[in-house]
Amino acid sequence: MSDIADLTRRMRTFTEARDWARFHDPKSLVLALVGEVGELAELLQWLRHDEQAAAVSEQPLNGRLAEEMSDVLLYLLRLADVVGVDLAQAAADKLQANEDRFPPDDHRSVAPSKA
């Protein structure tokens, strides 16, 4: 089965069992997501560029990254549930759109510009 749908359902059950849905308006959930992204950033901020590839694969850092990425994912799934978005479908659609928007031959080795 879909693990995105499964994790979303488990987060909803977890939330409702504690009566925490009252805290989970969209703006508050984005702030919670930001908090977890901040913890993820802190794990990496001072890693030297040429050491980061090795460092992220070692413990305890790899396990800490797994935890913070999990927190980001769980809040993101909770937010999608609250705002009524099928995130598995939306992400598949977005990836398809990106594949169409950036033909490989035109964009090879060139970072997409945000400017």
Site for its own copies in 46-105 (CB under 8 A): 46-47, 49, 52-53, 56-57, 60, 62, 64-67, 69-74, 76, 79-80, 82-88, 90-95, 98-99, 102, 104
Nearest distance, CB of residue 67 and its own copies, angstroms: 6
Write down the least CB distance from residue 8 to its own copies, Å.
11
C-alpha closest to that of 6 among 88, 85, 66: 88
19 lies in the binding site for its own copies (CB under 8 A): yes
Peptide bond into 60 cis (omega under 30): yes
Place of tokens 């925490």: 20
Minimum distance of its own copies from residue 36's CB (angstroms): 7
Give, in order, the Cα–Cα distances in Å from 10 to each of 3, 57, 74, 81, 113: 10, 29, 10, 11, 38
Tokens encoding 81: 């549930």
Among 18, 54, 59, 100, the residue binding its own copies under the rule CB under 8 A is 18
